[in-house]
Amino acid sequence: MNKQLLQKYWIDVGLAVSFSFSFITGIIKWPTLIGKFGFSKTMLLILMRIHDISGLIMGILVIIHLIQHWKWVIAMSKGIFKKKVTE
């Protein structure tokens, strides 16, 4: 397997994992749900820290992902805007 493809694979895996942590902790933190879980203050602080760190990691990986696919983004944008202008 080529190195660039493997690198993109691991970026996508990292995005999936960080999204999952951020999403799940975000749901648990939801004001109407948080009381139903009965977490201690320490556990809530840990939960919020996991949420914040996973969100930060996800943001960094999204930026890397966009940089890796920038030529594709530009090509698609040009194609979309050209079609709208000529129609």
Which pTM was predicted?
Answer: 0.78
Q: Which residue has the tokens 């556990």?
A: 43
Q: Is 55 exposed, middle or buried (0-12, 13-18, 19+ CB in 10 A)?
A: middle
Q: What is the pLDDT along the chain (87 residues), one digit of tens a residue?
A: 798 889 999 999 999 999 999 999 999 888 777 777 787 889 889 999 999 999 999 999 999 999 999 999 899 988 888 865 555
CA 12 from chain centre, in angstroms, equals: 9
- Looking from the CA of 65 toward its CB, the CA atoms found within 13 Å total 14
How many degrees, rounded to 5, is the angle at CA 65 between CA 63 and CA 27? 70
